[in-house]
Amino acid sequence: MNISSEDITRVAHLARLALRPDEIETMTHEVGRILTYIDTLNELNTEGVIPTSHALAITNAFREDAVVPSLAREEALKNAPCRNEEAFVVPKIIG
């Protein structure tokens, strides 16, 4: 599988990762090699095979709709890199 540095740049944006030009170059080479290896999956005919997303046949996990205590606000905010008294603070979104 040939993958271009433009592909990596596009995917890095989707993944919200700022990559340096040298990282994009290395990544293009390495990811290309890995995807070429992954292309060996195409040796298999999988027509009509149902995909597996979960190894066990658990379908629904129901529980009582009971109210239980949740994390207190102060606890939830404790690890925030930037916060005020009651909320997480992020850079301005609307100008």
Which residues are CB-contacts of 38 (< 8 A; sequence separation ≥ 6)? 1
Q: Which of 67, 81, 84, 86 binds another protein (CB under 8 A)?
A: 81
Beta pairing partners, 83: 88
DSSP string, 48-65: TPPPPS-SS---------
Q: What would the x/- binding string for another protein be over residues 23 to 62, using CB under 8 A?
A: x---x--xx-xxx-xxxxxxxx-x--xxxxxxxx-x--x-
Residues that bind another protein (CB under 8 A): 3, 7-8, 11-19, 23, 27, 30-31, 33-35, 37-44, 46, 49-56, 58, 61, 63, 71, 75-76, 78-82, 88, 90-91, 93
